[in-house]
Chains A and B, each alone.
Chain A
């Protein structure tokens, strides 16, 4: 399958990349590992006239910890996250999520964490070859006025199926974006629009530089996902959770973050369900099961029928994913005690 034509640049410096993005804006595409972008270009779903490669920006590939923050450069390959003892220690949910991304030969060495976060939302009716799509009317995201995933939808509800970002949102991750206009930091749970055509609140001249994750003493985290074929299919539902102990009673949950992924245009941070766990004990499995049920009810309305599995099944599985992620995270507290 041929790629469409484009001009290719691989600047040696960050400034060089930002200048090109500023110059070409909507006509430019950032090329990290290419494992999302090039597929969409082959399907003629994206046709940037200029590709700006991050090939030479090795300065954006690192994992480090300073003053209570874990920093991961946007170009860090997935394999480096998986193999990082530091991330395993401070943010196990992210390692678990990255381990589940596709397969070794697809993403581990080419795919980047930045590309994983910024991969486009997906829909089984849209992410298809040009030939497949030519057989029917275009949907909203393809420039038309209908939606195949949800009757009467006035907008696109394509699904965010990134594994990494669901874990990162649970870990309270923030993105640091840079452009010739300067730098800004944005919380992941404030980064999404309500439109699946342009899911990110991001300008075309902006580059993702790094992700930061607060290192919270005693915090535990976990990630669970469901997909058909583990190596080549995206998650049809997933969940990331982080539990922080009460400073006065280490056996008690002080605060929780529950995020459900692959069920909406963005990962869903469920604030109310998360709050309900404050004050519960780490071995209170009934509370986790209840949180799973509440999460299912809270997340159910967001999903559209576009991830290749029966919608009711995906909804039902939210309960299992959240319940299991909570139990896994809490399990880290008990093993810590045994040590």
Chain B
């Protein structure tokens, strides 16, 4: 089958790849680039576990042809940490117990990242809406919403907000 060359910047690194027309962006990041953080849950746009940022916006990588990302910048969950140092958002997920099996987590983090880039201090309802396309079968969502809300704005009364890692001014 015909392959087509494409160039895409993934987590800041420029990649030139020869892909098949029917490769999805999810298949390319997982199978060509070994970035297996993004997960395939449903493969049909429903669950959100494949969410990545395409030119800064959250999209379903399972419903995006790789070739449609030619010339674009893609951020996957692997692009959030700085080396071994987790981002404030990632640390907040851990602190708030927002990760159980972890399958939904990469997608949740990417949807949350996009929200916080757009609105640095969202209220709870805004967080819930932004994450509404991401399904979690474990946590019951409350902890995830806490993690995102408090990553932006640590809450004084929250036992899970840690001043050291979440940048809060309380202990």
- A residues sitting closer than 8 Å to B (CB atoms) are 1-8, 10, 31, 34-35, 38-39, 42-43, 51, 53, 55, 102-106, 108-110, 230-232
Whether B134 contacts A3 by the Cβ 8 Å rule is no
Whether A105 contacts B48 by the Cβ 8 Å rule is yes
- B residues sitting closer than 8 Å to A (CB atoms) are 1-2, 4, 20-22, 24, 40, 43-46, 48, 51, 54, 57-60, 62-65, 67-68, 70, 107, 110-111, 114, 129-130, 132-135
Whether A106 contacts B45 by the Cβ 8 Å rule is yes
| Closest chain B residue, CB of each to CB of A127 | B44
- Shortest beta-carbon distance, B107 to chain A, in Å? 8
- Shortest beta-carbon distance, B29 to chain A, in Å? 16
Q: Please list 27 pairs of residues, one from A and one from B, whose beta carbons are closer than 8 Å in the complex, sorted by A's number.
A: A1-B40, A3-B22, A5-B20, A5-B22, A6-B21, A6-B22, A8-B4, A8-B21, A35-B60, A35-B63, A39-B45, A39-B63, A42-B44, A43-B44, A103-B132, A104-B58, A104-B130, A105-B58, A105-B110, A105-B134, A106-B48, A106-B63, A108-B57, A110-B60, A110-B63, A230-B132, A232-B135
Whether A104 contacts B133 by the Cβ 8 Å rule is yes
- Shortest beta-carbon distance, A29 to chain B, in Å? 12
| Closest chain B residue, CB of each to CB of A4 | B22
Known: A7-B21, A39-B45, A103-B132. A109 touches B54 (CB 8 A): yes
Known: A103-B132, A106-B60. A34 touches B22 (CB 8 A): no
Whether B111 contacts A104 by the Cβ 8 Å rule is yes
Bound-state CA distance A106–B132 (Å) is 10
Q: Which residues of B contact A6 (CB under 8 A)?
A: 21-22
Whether B68 contacts A34 by the Cβ 8 Å rule is yes
Bound-state CA distance A115–B44 (Å) is 16
Bound-state CA distance A8–B107 (Å) is 28
- Shortest beta-carbon distance, B26 to chain A, in Å? 10
| Closest chain A residue, CB of each to CB of B55 | A109
Bound-state CA distance A141–B15 (Å) is 42
Q: Which residues of A contact B63 (CB under 8 A)?
A: 34-35, 38-39, 106, 110
Q: Which residues of B contact A39 (CB under 8 A)?
A: 44-45, 63
Q: Which residues of B contact A105 (CB under 8 A)?
A: 48, 51, 58-60, 107, 110-111, 114, 133-134
Whether B132 contacts A231 by the Cβ 8 Å rule is yes
Those 6 A-B pairs whose CB atoms lie nearest each other, nearest first? A103-B133, A1-B43, A8-B21, A231-B132, A105-B58, A109-B57
Known: A38-B65, A42-B43, A230-B132. A109 touches B59 (CB 8 A): yes
Q: Which residues of A contact B68 (CB under 8 A)?
A: 31, 34, 53, 55
Bound-state CA distance A4–B20 (Å) is 11
Q: Which residues of A contact B133 (CB under 8 A)?
A: 102-106, 231-232
Q: Which residues of A contact B62 (CB under 8 A)?
A: 1
| Closest chain B residue, CB of each to CB of A40 | B44
- Shortest beta-carbon distance, B102 to chain A, in Å? 18
| Closest chain A residue, CB of each to CB of B67 | A8
Bound-state CA distance A85–B80 (Å) is 33
Q: Which residues of A contact B111 (CB under 8 A)?
A: 104-105
Most buried by B among A2, A38, A53: A38
Bound-state CA distance A55–B54 (Å) is 14
Whether B129 contacts A104 by the Cβ 8 Å rule is yes
Q: Which residues of B contact A108 (CB under 8 A)?
A: 57
Q: Which residues of A contact B65 (CB under 8 A)?
A: 3, 8, 31, 34, 38, 51, 53
Q: Which residues of B contact A38 (CB under 8 A)?
A: 24, 45, 63, 65
Q: Which residues of B contact A232 (CB under 8 A)?
A: 46, 133, 135
- Shortest beta-carbon distance, A274 to chain B, in Å? 33
- Shortest beta-carbon distance, B91 to chain A, in Å? 22
| Closest chain A residue, CB of each to CB of B20 | A5
Q: Which residues of A contact B64 (CB under 8 A)?
A: 34, 110
Q: Which residues of B contact A102 (CB under 8 A)?
A: 133
- Shortest beta-carbon distance, B48 to chain A, in Å? 6
Bound-state CA distance A30–B72 (Å) is 21
| Closest chain B residue, CB of each to CB of A33 | B63
- Shortest beta-carbon distance, A119 to chain B, in Å? 12
Q: Which residues of B contact A109 (CB under 8 A)?
A: 54, 57-59
| Closest chain A residue, CB of each to CB of B115 | A104
